[in-house]
Amino acid sequence: MNCLLWTSVTVLSLIWAVGGQSTGSLRLVGSFSRTGGSSGRLEVYYNGRWGTVCDDSFGINDARVACRQLGFSSYSRYGTVGRLGFSQASLSTRIWLDELRCRGSESRLINCPANPIGDEDCTHSKDVALVCTARTTSPSSGDLRLVGNSGRTGGSSGRLEFYYNGQWGTVCNDSFGASDARVACRQLGYSSTSIQYGTVETLGFSTASSTTRTWLDELRCSGSESRLINCPASPIGVEDCTHSEDVALICTTGSVSTVSISIGVTIPVIIIVVVIVVLFSGFARKRRRLANYPRYASVISNVTSTVSGSNTQDTYPLQPPIDQNSQYSNQAPPPNIHAPQPAAAYPTGQYAGPQYPTSYPQQPPASYVTAQYPTEKNPQHI
């Protein structure tokens, strides 16, 4: 049962992890593996793993498409990690894209002409790095941002703010939980694992100014929503909070390859897990049936030994006692057909009953017949 429960929890965890990243997602990794900023080593998500982009043929249009996909207006610089002062990826990191030739109009880098994914001849010293310009596009209702202590936005941690009615406002901590934090970090473009959440005071971030509205209160997300605005909550702007209760988040990605998987990988894994669950259930049922066999075998053994024993009187029920007040109390009990047959002579022991007259008179002795009926023949010779 525990194994079945663990398997069920594992299947649900795999399905939930699909929502973290999708094939073709991009991120910028800083010098200290910090993601979410506007500059860093460019990485693309494919086949359940983050990988780098090779600098071969990478140009202005490729940089423009990448920064725009990441949510920035454009780029300011691009080049190799060494040239821009960022760290190389580890040797175990794949290089997914090489020979990119974007036209500049694509919405995603993975849609640009390039070598087949994973077909490359590069080293990590040629990993692409980008410095994207700040976001200048106007936000829309329901957008989120994280505001750091210096007022800087675009990082992976800070005070959570919500855009509505033309201005940014905060989110109250009342009823805010793990599911709400997952939805918020996922909407911001981060993996929905390894999350820390709390108030600005507990996580060490600054409170908003007194003129800042608190837009959201009493959030109750299920965790499956794509945007925080889709979660059940009090009507926007209806709240009873102070800015000391503003929500703060730390959305970390960690080792995403171990916590997020793509749909192409997840479906076979889920099928395998389901098959294992079915096989385990059948095995468990078989073991339960076999566990009952010794009990049945013991019962059968007792019956067999009783029937095959030397004392046949124990095998069959004894005759009921005779009621002394019955009119048949002087009669012998019915014979036991299973008992050994008596000898030719009628027994004279306990069951020897009285002599009963037969339906025909017995023949008298020869001398008696001759004496009483001298003129008749002996009946014995008739």
Read off the pLDDT of residues 283-337 as tens digits, 9 standing for 90 and up: 667 666 666 555 544 544 554 454 444 444 444 455 555 555 555 555 566 666 6
Q: Is the pLDDT of residue 11 over 60?
A: no
Read off the pLDDT of residues 40-88 as tens digits, 9 standing for 90 and up: 999 999 999 999 999 999 999 999 999 888 878 788 899 999 999 899 9
The torsion angles phi and psi of 370, rounded to 5 degrees, stand at -65, -40
The mean predicted confidence, pLDDT, of the chain is 74
CA distances from 44 to 33, 128, 188, 210, 278 (A): 15, 11, 17, 40, 36
Contact 108, 68 (CB under 8 A): no
| pLDDT at position 307 | 45
Domains 22-132 and 144-258 equal at CATH topology level = yes
| pLDDT at position 138 | 72
Q: Which residues pair with 130 in a beta bridge?
A: 40, 78
Give the DSSP per-residue string, 135-174. Answer: P-SPP-TT-EEEE-TTS-BSSSEEEEEEEETTEEEEEB-T
The domain limits of the chain are 22-132, 144-258
Report DSSP state, residue 220: -
Beta carbons within 10 angstroms of residue 376's beta carbon: 10
Q: What's the mean pLDDT in 4-30? A: 58
Read off the pLDDT of residues 101-126 as tens digits, 9 standing for 90 and up: 999 888 889 999 999 999 999 999 99
Q: Which fold has domain 22-132?
A: Mac-2 Binding Protein (3.10.250)
Contact 238, 215 (CB under 8 A): no
Contact 75, 128 (CB under 8 A): no
From 241, 199, 202, 196, select the one nearest 218 (Cα to Cα).
Answer: 241
How many helices (DSSP H) and strands (DSSP E) are in the chain?
7, 12
Structure tokens that stand for 17 in this block = 């992890």
Contact 74, 68 (CB under 8 A): yes
CA distances from 245 to 46, 147, 168, 180, 203 (A): 39, 15, 16, 15, 11
CA distance 26 to 44: 5
Q: In sequence order, which residues have a C-beta less than 8 Å from that of residue 323 and are 6 or more positions away?
A: 329
263 pLDDT band, cuts 50/70/90, is very low
CA distance 307 to 315: 6
CA distances from 178 to 220, 227, 232, 260, 345 (A): 10, 15, 14, 18, 98
The torsion angles phi and psi of 171, rounded to 5 degrees, stand at -120, 130
Q: Is the pLDDT of residue 221 over 70?
A: yes
Rg for the chain (alpha carbons), in Å? 47
Report DSSP state, residue 339: S
Give the DSSP per-residue string, 52-113. Answer: EEB-TT--HHHHHHHHHHTT-S-EEEEEEHHHHT-PPPPTTSEEEE-S----S--SSGGGS-
Q: Is the whole model's pTM more than 0.75, yes or no?
A: no
Looking up tokens 């010794």, which residue turns up? 294
Q: Which fold has domain 144-258?
A: Mac-2 Binding Protein (3.10.250)
Structure tokens that stand for 378 in this block = 């002996």
Read off the pLDDT of residues 153-170 as tens digits, 9 standing for 90 and up: 767 889 999 999 989 999
Interior angle at CA 88, CA 83 and CA 93, nearest 5: 145
More confident residue, 381 or 107: 107
**End-to-end CA gap in the chain:** 93
CA distance 228 to 170: 12
Q: For the packed helices 263-307 and 2-17, what is the interaxial angle rounded to 10 degrees? A: 170
| pLDDT at position 107 | 83
Q: Is the pLDDT of residue 97 over 80?
A: yes
